[in-house]
Chain A
């Protein structure tokens, strides 16, 4: 039987941990709200750009040389670049582990292709640095405050490599924010670009030639996809951390309840023992 003082000490320690997890949960909730707001604020631009791209692509494809843009070129996927977005910090349940698992599975499935990795977030970097894979870029500290320029720079380097025929396809593996409890694991092909379908064409006046406009819209679209993935991943990270910390807090409550029960039992047992000792001592005197 553990002594009363030991149990008290454990209860205190669990309570301290619970306070930390509770605080982390609050912080994550606040950060989640901010991340969600930013993701929401980015939506109008994304929808409009997508629509515009669809329209322009359709107009350009009616001309002879419209479909020949280098970013649309589909080649056999012999050299694949994987862009993986993880978090910089842990303590977010399965957030990092799950997405890394997806990336690892992707790597296993494409064993015969030449894979290179572009890693965003410390957790993914730590995982793949220990393994025998080619890493062309490792970015940390981009996710605390997501900026379009950061996403743009990474997207630009990816685009350049694709255009220079260094890679045949680019895949983006990241968490997407669907609900707070369970982020969705997304694996999407970024390059070559799959042009969104247009819903009914409008007869536009083109200030520039459609092909020219398309040539500038396509890289922009890739950058936007990258930025969106950043925002989604950050929102998903905070959501996952909030859920994990909530679970940890309620687990700590359970542990405290159990320990309190044991503590009371121990105390009662010792009181009973003392009474028996006194009573039997008194009986021996008679």
Chain B
């Protein structure tokens, strides 16, 4: 079982993929998200966002923004991604 994660900036959709685990830099510390996570809203801080799919980990450096988790959909609205 995996969940869908979408990473967007105001300018474009950076990534949209299936993931098993995501580590997201929240404003008040890192958040680990697995499949079936409860609906959640949070502000994002600065740091490394890691997405693990089938043992492979991809990472993005993000700064600021918002996070929404809902029905196995993780939406990352970052201010900037590099």
A residues adjacent to B (C-beta < 8 A): 38, 41-42, 44-46, 48-49, 51-52, 55-56, 148, 202-208, 213, 216-217, 220, 223-224, 227
Contact = CB atoms under 8 A, between A and B. Distances in A.
Interface string B29-46: 001000000111111000
A205 B13 contact: no
Nearest to B44: A207
B11 A216 contact: no
Q: Which DSSP category, helix, strand, loop or mixed, fits chain A's interface?
A: helix
A41 B11 contact: yes
B5 to A, nearest CB: 13
Interface string B1-20: 00000101111110000000
Given A46-B10, A216-B43, 20 more contacts: A42-B10, A44-B8, A45-B9, A45-B13, A48-B77, A49-B77, A52-B41, A52-B68, A52-B75, A148-B9, A204-B39, A204-B40, A204-B41, A204-B70, A205-B40, A207-B41, A207-B42, A208-B27, A208-B42, A224-B10
- Counting from the closest, the 4 A-B pairs by CB-CB distance are A207-B42, A41-B12, A45-B8, A205-B40
Given A49-B66, A213-B43, A207 B28 contact: yes
A41 B68 CA distance: 19
Contact of A44 (B13, B42, B43): B13
B6 to A, nearest CB: 7
B66 A217 contact: yes
Given A49-B66, A49-B77, A227 B42 contact: no
B40 to A, nearest CB: 4
A202 B39 contact: yes
Contacts of B9: 45, 148
Nearest to B29: A207
Contacts of A49: 66, 77
5 contacts: A45-B11, A52-B66, A52-B68, A213-B43, A220-B66
A207 B27 contact: yes
A208 B43 contact: yes
Contact of A48 (B8, B28, B38): B8
Which among A56, A207, A223 has the highest number of chain B CB atoms within 10 Å? A207
Given A52-B68, A202-B70, A42 B11 contact: yes
A72 to B, nearest CB: 19
B41 A41 contact: no
A50 B27 CA distance: 21
B41 A148 contact: no
Given A52-B41, A52-B68, A202-B70, A207 B10 contact: no
Nearest to B26: A207
Contacts of A44: 6, 8, 13
A56 B75 CA distance: 15
